[in-house]
Amino acid sequence: MVLLHPNSESWPKDPKQSLATWEGAAAGADQLLKTGLAKEHGWFTNLEGYTVFEAESKEKVLEMVTPFFPLFSYTIHEVVPWEKGRNAVLAGARQAAGVK
């Protein structure tokens, strides 16, 4: 999951230029969704949001989000699916407790 944050100093101050920038960023995100590279995109506010990628590596995700820099900066979190994460957490807790 990628959390995106705007870099306000990189955005045009003129409203028409800002609109054109938004339209370009939206088209790029639409393309990532259309091709299946991004699985989901959503917003927390009108400026901050998230995108869910399924990729073989963080490096691949970096490649996909770099075209949106400097307009946005990113925090990339690798997400462990529920069952795999649950199993790993329980295994670690059992090991710490000395239980097999």
CATH number of residue 89's parent domain: 3.30.70.1060
> So what's the pLDDT on residue 100?
82
pLDDT at 34 over 90: yes
In 3D, which of 39, 32, 29, 34 has the Cα closest to residue 79? 39
pLDDT at 49 over 90: yes
As a whole number of Å, the end-to-end CA separation of the chain is: 33
DSSP structure class, residue 20:
H
Q: What is the mean pLDDT of residues 34-59?
A: 94
Q: How far is C-alpha 66 from the chain's CA centre?
A: 11
Q: At a CB cut-off of 8 Å and minimum separation 6, what does 22 contact?
A: none
> How many domains, in total, are found in the chain?
1
Q: What is the extent of the structural domain holding 72?
A: 2-97
Mean pLDDT estimate for the chain: 94
Residues of the chain with pLDDT > 90, as a percent, come to 91
State both tokens at 72. 């946005």
DSSP structure class, residue 18:
H
Residues of the chain with pLDDT > 70, as a percent, come to 100
